[in-house]
Chains A and B, each alone.
Chain A
Amino acid sequence: MPVPTVIKTDGLTKRFPGVTALDRLTVEVEPGVVGLVGANGAGKSTLIKILLGLSPATEGTGQVLGLDIATQGPAIRERVGYMPEHDCLPPDVSATEFVVHMARMSGLPASAARERTADTLRHVGLYEERYRPMGGYSTGMKQRVKLAQALVHDPQLVLLDEPTNGLDPVGRDEMLGLIRRIHADFGISVLVTTHLLGELERTCDHLVVIDGGKLLRSSSTASFTGTTQLLAVEVTDHPVDRTFDADAVLTGRLTAAGLTVRTDGSRILLVELAGDDTYDTVRDAVDDLGLGLVRLEQRRHRVAEIFSTRTDEDGDTDPHADADGHEYEAGRADAYRAAAAGGEQA
């Protein structure tokens, strides 16, 4: 039976000595895949701890699956799965033994624990390796075991803390695919935290963005990415004239033809798609200038762009450039953003 709201918080506040980790957070999350976005230290892990009933909120109330976080912690923890961010696997036991033990710790009888372990490890894509000690596993395999132990007791909700951390692009895609399946095929709601914005739009139905413990935005992924379509255009340099600025001239031509054009900082022009004839306009303009067309592809607005435009418009609300000037953090977030965008083009 579906629960109307999976997570509901009202004015949730958590203060540590000298630090406010969560500041009057009011969110409502429906069944589905929900992304919890924020830079490191934004309060994501604190929120998860409070939702699991492990750490009392300083102020405010919250419910998980309709159960009160302050008083019904054990009942919540029976119905929720948690995949921590950090490594949590003892190296000298096999995945099977470990997951069976964790299933029993969730209250499953011994025989059910073994059966569910075999099923779950198969679903996350772990086969013969599951009998080997986990110390020899690759990062990808470890992440799968961590996911399996969160799913083994068939929870109604799983909290995944940075599940794609440390994975290569292929592993990341597989993990994101798994996360989609958890909701689509298994019928389990997912709250997934990440600081990689690029991952979310394909995976999540809903995004919650927090920064410095405050809620920045909570809305469906579709409203984040918008419906406007973009056309990515990349051209070669002029074959003869080296000083010829192909991008600038092309931008001028297209703007003159009534199209909205901007660059994304590299050699790619983003042209707003006005209709099918936009393709023709671009093709003709490039041909007319005698340039080579390297790339002509359709793109949606990216979640990342929402954030980069936020930076331009209003520095205060940007989640990565905080007032204390943590430039290292901000720089790293930019790098992630670029990496995420790059990964998606491939």
Chain B
Amino acid sequence: MTTRSDAHGGVIHDIGYRPYAGPRLGRRYATRSLYVQSLRAAFGLGRSGKSKVLPFLLLGGMTAPALGMLAIALFAQLDEMPMDYPGYLAAFAVLPQIFLAAQAPVLMSRDLRHHVVPLYFSRPATRGDYVAAKFAAMFSALMIVLALPLLLLFTGAMLAKFPVGENLLHLLYGLLAAVLYALVYSALGLLIAAATPRRGFGVAAIMGVLMISFAVANITYALNGGFDPTQESASWAFLISPSTLVEALVNQLFGLDADSPSALHAPDGAGTAVFTAVLLALTAGGYALTLRRYRNV
């Protein structure tokens, strides 16, 4: 196999094997490369055209209302945004959830299903690096989906000359909420996705956990007298679902929507501390179990 003729009659000369003498950048570089590749994969980049449809549809669905509000703020001469930043995330909470359910298995199940994982582990990066890179990628992808509309809202507020200080403060509340959503979603989503090599199962299981826990949280809240007259103790029910957990915690922390009876918030007193502890425990626990999952792969 020294030369090979192609269809045009040209000849490709085999110049022989060339050893590689360049730099080997090691473990951290490899982990970073895996992070970048996984983040791109979460949006279908570097994969087939078909796999780009859903993530970008969801990103579009998440940002379109913000764009609309931006336009309304500019032309309808309002004096504040139609929706507060954390409230926006709560109102469209289902879109990032679908994003998580659809894309977490893309990051985890595919590698398991096609047995790519051993190829990673036979290279410098370790199992811990693998999970860290995947977690960071899922977190970043969710942050893009969650933070982009908030930044659009803020841009709108600035263009419409709304008060800078208040908007900046609430943008920060919103971004913190986004970080908390992204953390707890990533930890749970990746754990479930890593449990099955079947993408479909992963999607269904993640969606199921989020939807059912949300429903159970609301039913429990209602049964414990959450509505009219509102009983403070009923709010403990929001611990049940990751999405209400974050929403209630952020509202309580910053005293958002305190005048609105329909707004979720963590119970007074120990509520904030307990909700924070549960949120951290869920994130850390999910991460630790995912790590454990790869111990024997």
Q: Which residues of chain A have a CB within 8 Å of any CB of chain B? A: 52, 54, 74, 77-78, 80, 82, 84, 86-93, 97, 101-102, 104-109, 112, 116, 119, 122-123, 125, 127, 133, 149, 153-154, 185-187
Contacts and interface: CB of A to CB of B under 8 A. Distances in A.
A74 B127 CA distance: 11
A104 B124 contact: no
A84 B18 CA distance: 24
A119 B114 CA distance: 25
Contacts of B29: 104, 107, 109
B48 A87 contact: no
A86 B24 CA distance: 27
A226 to B, nearest CB: 32
B124 A84 contact: no
B16 interface: yes
Contact of A154 (B1, B19, B27, B124): B19
Contacts of A52: 121-122
Given A84-B119, A108-B20, 20 more contacts: A84-B118, A84-B122, A87-B115, A89-B116, A90-B111, A93-B46, A105-B33, A105-B123, A105-B124, A107-B24, A107-B25, A109-B25, A116-B20, A119-B18, A125-B1, A149-B119, A153-B24, A185-B16, A186-B17, A187-B19
B22 A78 contact: no
B124 A78 contact: yes
B114 A105 contact: no
Nearest to B121: A54
Interface in B187-237: none
Given A82-B119, A88-B114, A97 B25 contact: no
A101 B33 contact: yes
B118 A88 contact: yes
A97 B46 CA distance: 8
Contacts of A101: 33, 37
Contacts of A122: 14
B48 A106 contact: no
Contacts of B46: 93, 97
A127 B125 CA distance: 30
A109 B114 contact: no
Contacts of A102: 119, 123
26 contacts: A52-B121, A74-B26, A74-B126, A77-B124, A86-B115, A88-B119, A90-B110, A90-B111, A90-B116, A91-B114, A97-B46, A105-B119, A105-B123, A105-B124, A106-B24, A107-B24, A107-B30, A108-B20, A108-B24, A119-B17, A123-B17, A133-B48, A153-B24, A154-B19, A154-B20, A187-B19
A154 to B, nearest CB: 4
B106 to A, nearest CB: 10
A125 to B, nearest CB: 7
Nearest to B37: A101
Interface in B122-139: 122-126
Given A78-B24, A106-B123, A107-B25, A87 B114 contact: yes
Given A105-B30, A108-B22, A74 B124 contact: yes
Q: Is chain A's interface secondary structure helix, strand, loop, or mixed overall?
A: loop
Interface string B6-20: 000000001011111
Contact of B123 (A77, A84, A87, A125): A77
A107 B20 CA distance: 12
A112 B110 contact: no
Contacts of B16: 185
Contacts of B26: 74, 78, 107
Contact of A106 (B1, B30, B110): B30
Contacts of B20: 108, 112, 116, 153-154
A92 B48 contact: yes
Nearest to A112: B22
Interface string B165-201: 0000000000000000000000000000000000000
A108 B25 contact: yes
Contacts of B47: 92-93
A298 to B, nearest CB: 28
Contacts of A187: 17, 19
A1 to B, nearest CB: 12
Contacts of A97: 46
B155 to A, nearest CB: 33
Contacts of A119: 17-18
